[in-house]
Structure 1
Amino acid sequence: MKTSDLQNLTIAIVGGGYGGASAAAALSALGANVTVYEQASGMHEVGAGIGLRPSSMNRFREWGIFDNIAAVSSPSDYFEILTATGGPIMKDDWPEDGEEKHTYLIHRGDFIEALVGALPQGMVKLGHKLEKIEDNGSNATLTFTNGEVVTADLVVGADGIKSVVRKQLFSDNQPVFSGEHAYRSVISIDDAHGMINDDNLRMYIGHGTKVYLLPLRHRNQVSFDITALIPDSTWSPDVTKEDILKTVEGFDERIVDIARGLNMDTVNLRAVYDIDPVDNWHSDCVALLGDAAHSMLHHQGQGANSAILDAGGLADALKTADTVAEALAQYQADRKPVTDELQRISRSGWTEDEVNSVFPGQKPENQNPAEQQAADHDTADLDSSTK
């Protein structure tokens, strides 16, 4: 689209998380009139750490916010996968993107603060929970529960796994339980029993359990994450310290000691869900982005990165297409094959034996058992192809 057309474009982004804030950065850089509508009364992220891949960091360079992100993150050279007791399985560099070779490890809260803090003041409107969206053909109208009504030339639905935009316009796909729980906490490096001595991600694999140690050395902390096969599908399960300790039986004693020392008040406990692939992400004036379009399991660390690359892909399409409608069709054509494959790979997290041991005689629908090592190699190749 012409620069003048982009500057006259009114864009409403529903959701102020990773995807929405990234889209705001990318689309406002085009000169468009962008507003983000976030249902929460304040911007904050609970949970733990994530890794921002080289391709994501290059997008931040493009949008002029690389320094904001780098200031609150630690560059990592490689990742390692080990047995429960620390035996080597694989060790590999992060897939490069141009000259960028590092994945930047960052706390979720620091990430969202850096993203939102880089946006122009007033661009994010809090306390706006979407009630209804109407697609008018050439534009769309949003009605919020606070009574405000907004019409925009382009609406970006970045409202997460329970997306109202997706449900009302595109698909009623419901969250699918993966058969897993994730237990996450951020602890001091001093409480990591000597397991953190550099800035590289390590994953320890035991039977039915994976433990992730993600250093946040700029904070003098480490993100300690346990993912375990558990049949309870309660969205926010009631879990005790003893339950957590059972998941790490047989692991390196230092990992057991970390789990034993957790303050349960600081542990984020949740069942793990994704959605089945959505057939269509867009109309002529509305598009889905991030988890709203393709929520995926966290095994490959691709959720936030995919949302960032979606934002970049959408901005690219708007720059090169003649109309918004053409841009949205191009955006889906470029991004959907990649994210469909990432969803598939992310569901390939457990062996048949592991699944059967927890779900005798049956297994969750979205489990496609495969060896984790092969899945990780597949993802590295795919990440390289999306630069």
Structure 2
Amino acid sequence: MRIEDFKNLHIAIVGGGYGGAASAIALKSIGAENVHVYEQAPAFGQVGAGIGLRPTTVELFRQWGIFDAIAAVSAPSDRLEIVTADGKMVLAQEEWPELHGFAQTNHTRIIHRGDFIEALFGALPPKMVHLGYQLNGITDHGNTSTLTFENGESVTADLVIGADGIRSLVRKQLFTDKAPVFAGEHAYRTVISLDDTFDLVTDDNPRFYIASNGTVAYNLPLRHRNQVSYDITARSEDDTWAPIITNDYLVALLEGFDQRILDIARTLDISKVTSRSVYDIDPVDLWHTDSVTLLGDSAHAMLHHQGQGANSAIQDAGALANALLEADSVPAALALFQANRKPLTDELQRLSRLGWTPESAEVAFPEQSAAK
């Protein structure tokens, strides 16, 4: 499609997470002007913990002209280290894939989720962002689709991007009503001061501590904030969305771990710990119609073990913009987008379900081996 075509294309994005915001930025970067993001929350807040934005993702930020904004609220990392639960043996220590794969070195950026969302939306004109718009339904007319919202408003667009997450209503109404799949795990996350880590953090690189029973404790340094993201994943049969926990419960989970990890668990303000059951979705056979596409978690929600969820959503955004430039129509672009991205995300979903054990942690990035 010609760049001139984008100026008249009405694009509606459902969901104001990483995928939705990145899609708006990517489309804006190729000339789209009539792009609107509809987010159900009434406001953006500082929620969540830390994530790692990989070098290939960082390269997109450079292309979109937002690298400086991301760098200002993140810390650079050059490697990932995986160690035994007691911290006495290094199982794997590897540079991030593609660290030196571009004209400039692209470190993985360790960032707080709230800072990341603020930086993304700070790159968009306020008129593109609509808060308090909870999707009620979608009707596909072929070349256009209509969104209806709980507030009574409706929007008809030439292209609708369903970036509405793991419980996507767009996916449920147009593609598949299969429910998310419980992984048999819980994830506990919080952000604490570096001063409260008992000297656990010594550099800017994430470190995973892995036990033979599948429990993983990992930390992502947020040194620019003088903080660290402290995370635990452990097996559980309780599929309650937000399980109730105590400090004693966390300490018991971490028996045999590095004493500093236990000390942190014992002294945490438990009211500030996010407790969640872990879910993903089975691969979705079809992501698109002629005027609607899924993107990010709505298309391929994956477990967090490989740290690829946010990165995949942002890579989707770049791939969708490229497909629109390459194809001669919106339907052709959506087909090309799925053809380019689905094999990659199917494999990442599969790898993410494998989890971590000391035996499986011979390499830090199993997707690298799978691609060979």
TM-score range, shorter chain: over 0.9
Over residues 315-355 of structure 1, what are the superposed CA-to-partner deviations in whole Å (9 max), with x where a residue is unaligned? 0000110000000000000000000000000000156xxxx
The structural deviation recorded for 1:381 is: 4.7
Residue aligning to 1:251:
257
Q: Which runs of 5+ in 2 are unaligned?
A: none
Residue aligning to 1:114:
119
TM-score, normalised via structure 1 length: 0.92
Which amino acid is the alignment partner of residue 274 of structure 1? D
Alignment of 1:1-387 (within 5 A): 1-32=1-32, 33-86=34-87, 87-96=89-98, 97-98=101-102, 99-206=104-211, 207-350=213-356, 371-373=359-361, 376-381=364-369
The structural deviation recorded for 1:45 is: 4.8
- Note if contact 2:247-2:267 (Cα within 8 Å) is conserved in structure 1: no
- Cα pair distance change 1:293/1:371, threshold 3 Å: farther
Which amino acid is the alignment partner of residue 331 of structure 2? A
- Note if contact 1:58-1:100 (Cα within 8 Å) is conserved in structure 2: no
- Whole-angstrom distance in 2 between the partners of 1:19 and 1:150: 20
- Whole-angstrom distance in 2 between the partners of 1:200 and 1:28: 33
- Whole-angstrom distance in 1 between the partners of 2:114 and 2:161: 23
- Whole-angstrom distance in 1 between the partners of 2:156 and 2:369: 41
Over residues 29-76 of structure 1, what are the superposed CA-to-partner deviations in whole Å (9 max), with x where a residue is unaligned? 122110000000001252210000001111111111111101000000
The structural deviation recorded for 1:7 is: 1.3
- Cα pair distance change 1:70/1:140, threshold 3 Å: same
Which amino acid is the alignment partner of residue 166 of structure 2? I
SS for the counterpart of 1:122 is helix
SS for the counterpart of 1:193 is coil
The structural deviation recorded for 1:265 is: 1.0
Q: How many residues align?
A: 366
- Note if contact 1:314-1:327 (Cα within 8 Å) is conserved in structure 2: yes
SS for the counterpart of 2:264 is helix
- Cα pair distance change 1:151/1:233, threshold 3 Å: same
Q: Which runs of 5+ in 1 are unaligned?
A: 352-369
- Note if contact 2:47-2:113 (Cα within 8 Å) is conserved in structure 1: yes
- Whole-angstrom distance in 2 between the partners of 1:275 and 1:89: 29
Which amino acid is the alignment partner of residue 124 of structure 1? V
SS for the counterpart of 1:137 is coil
- Whole-angstrom distance in 1 between the partners of 2:264 and 2:244: 20
RMSD of aligned residue pairs (Cα, Å): 1.4
Residue aligning to 1:358:
none
Over residues 169-202 of structure 1, what are the superposed CA-to-partner deviations in whole Å (9 max), with x where a residue is unaligned? 0111211110100000100001111111210010
- Whole-angstrom distance in 2 between the partners of 1:377 and 1:301: 10
SS for the counterpart of 2:325 is helix
Question: Which aligned runs of 4 or more in structure 1 are off by greater than 3 angstroms?
Answer: 374-377
Q: Which stretch has the larger CA shift, 155-164 or 240-249?
A: 240-249
Which amino acid is the alignment partner of residue 185 of structure 1? T
- Cα pair distance change 1:167/1:319, threshold 3 Å: same
Which amino acid is the alignment partner of residue 361 of structure 2? Q
